A and B are shown apart, each in its own frame.
Chain A
Amino acid sequence: MGFGTALNIHTGKFDLVQSTSVLDDRYVNVTGDTMTGALLGHITVDTKANILALSPAGNQLAYATDTTEFYLYDGSNWKVAPLELQTEAQAPDMGAYEAGGLGISDKAGYYSDVITDKDLSSVKLKEYYRTAGEGAVRTTTDGEFQVYLNGVWNDVVINFRLREDSDGNYEFEHNPVGFDLWYEIMSGNSDILGIDGKPIIQQYTTSMGAYQRDIIINGGTF
């Protein structure tokens, strides 16, 4: 039977624990044994590098002072809780929210319904499953990119450009989804010319063969 002390992480105090057997040789018998080796607490507090250099005999909890993260050793590997701890001051926030129980400010900007003050990198925008609200965005299985404005989903059109032609003029062109060529919007003519110098697509139509018909200007009376 042996006695020892253990740090109670709930009270922050040392408890006197009694065991019918010595738990391991790091516990000190209060009747006069000499402790050998380091006395490890329930929570190791050190730099990340020093923590990761440890190989505890059993499960071990640790806090990294430089990265403000919690680590847990599961017997084989150190695992890290992905969120950093934030410094909390004794003073409250100004305003109604913290004091009034309306919600405590999250210094990292993570709330149950809002993530704020963040950059997103290398993410995908997928389908939308909630009740739509103004400003919502989504992609659809039809390959559309949409934004919810004025009470409806609106397609965000893509594949448009202004291209400077050989005459120094700018043509407003688009590349329809599913097609390879760019078309001048007003005329429907492709920017690609055939061997005869005529657009190979005219007014969104084309002829078989290498030669295209003359450009037809529709409408009007001459």
Chain B
Amino acid sequence: MATYYISPTGNDTTGNGSLSLPWLTVQRFITSSIANDTLICLNGTYTFANTTGIHYRTIQAQTNGSVIFDGNGAVCAWQLQTAPVITGITFRNIKTPGRDSYSYIFGLTSPGATVGSPTFNNCVFHSMLGNNGTAKDRELVFGIWSPAGGSSFTFNQCLFYNIQGHTSGAVIRPLFGSNGVVSINLTGCTIAATVTGVTALTHLWRTSGLITVKNIIAYNGSGATLNWKDGGTAVATYSDFYLITGAPTGAGVITSNPLFIDPVNYDFRLRPTSPCIDTGVLL
């Protein structure tokens, strides 16, 4: 298991992936590494670019919250295959792809036998832009189209906000989409649907698989109906679903306003009177 480095000032040609001579892009790391290798992204802001074949790798920030991948409003995607682990990175300003491209910002399209099973830890996803292509089920932030058996998405301690749905005005505009069975697992996450109007999300999850959540806050600030899921089954404990239609019930589940400090300006810390303080469950 080797460890490599990229830096915003790195160079894919002259660098060798070492700390002293880092590369610039994740793709360069993917190309030059093997399964179970680790990439450390040195602190700073990178350009989010199309990257394929991300599997059996760990991609982590040098310091959680200090590594940003900025799409600058462009259409691009990461193909996440089997068991990539992504930690401590902020992703922003990325536009969902069109149908002829990778179709999800994070995911897979028709991967055949390849199991897609990414895990995100301590990541922030915000200011994602929708698209208006014809494949409304696939031009989303997260998803797998025609998934292989055993596919899953796992989010631990992640924050989601200011995310547009499909901009065509489609009836179903989910955050995550699949036409098959994909398990979704969330622990200690905050999902704030803050986009309003015709590009607001209509659903969070579209899958035939099992959605398991614990210690999460799902907040609907769109002013319109936000459905928990379309299809699949859900298990929830010790979570808050505020103005979420069809939210699951379970031990410790509440539906109260989480009382963020300033959700309009994306400050999702909890006010002292928040019903979410100390009401999660030990992991």
A106 within 8 A of B: yes
Q: Which bucket holds chain B's interface residue count?
A: 35 or more
Query: Contact between B187 and A95 (Cβ–Cβ < 8 Å)?
Result: no
Specify which chain A residues have a CB less than 8 angstroms from the CB of B157 in the assembled complex: 96, 99-102
Query: In the complex, how many residue pairs between chain A and chain B have their CB atoms under 8 Å apart?
Result: 112
Given contact pairs A100-B122, A116-B271, A93 touches B261 in the complex (Cβ within 8 A): no
What CA separation (Å) do A130 and B157 show in the bound complex? 32
B14 on the A face (CB < 8 A):
no
* A-side contacts of B216, CB under 8 Å: 94-96
Q: A96 near B159 (CB under 8 angstroms)? A: yes
Please report B residues at the A interface, Cβ cutoff 8 Å.
64-65, 122, 124, 156-159, 187-190, 215-217, 238-240, 258, 261-262, 267-274, 276-283
Asked if A109 is an interface residue, CB under 8 A from chain B, the answer is yes
Number of interface residues of A (CB under 8 A): 25
At the interface, is chain B mostly helix, strand, loop or mixed?
Answer: loop
Residues of the A chain whose Cβ atoms lie less than 8 Å from the Cβ of B261: 111, 114, 116
Complex Cα distance, B269 from A117, in Å, reads 13
**A33 nearest CB across to chain B (Å):** 46
A105:B188 contact, CB within 8 angstroms: no
Q: In the complex, what distance in Å separates the CA atom of A107 from the CA atom of B156?
A: 24
Contact of A93 among B122, B280, B283 (CB under 8 A): B280
Residue of B nearest to A107 (CB): B272
Contact A94 B272 (CB under 8 A): no
Give chain A interface residues in 100-123, CB to chain B under 8 Å: 100-103, 105-109, 111, 114, 116-117
Supply 12 A–B pairs (Cβ within 8 Å), ascending by A.
Answer: A93-B280, A94-B240, A95-B270, A98-B280, A100-B157, A101-B122, A102-B159, A105-B269, A105-B272, A107-B277, A114-B269, A116-B271
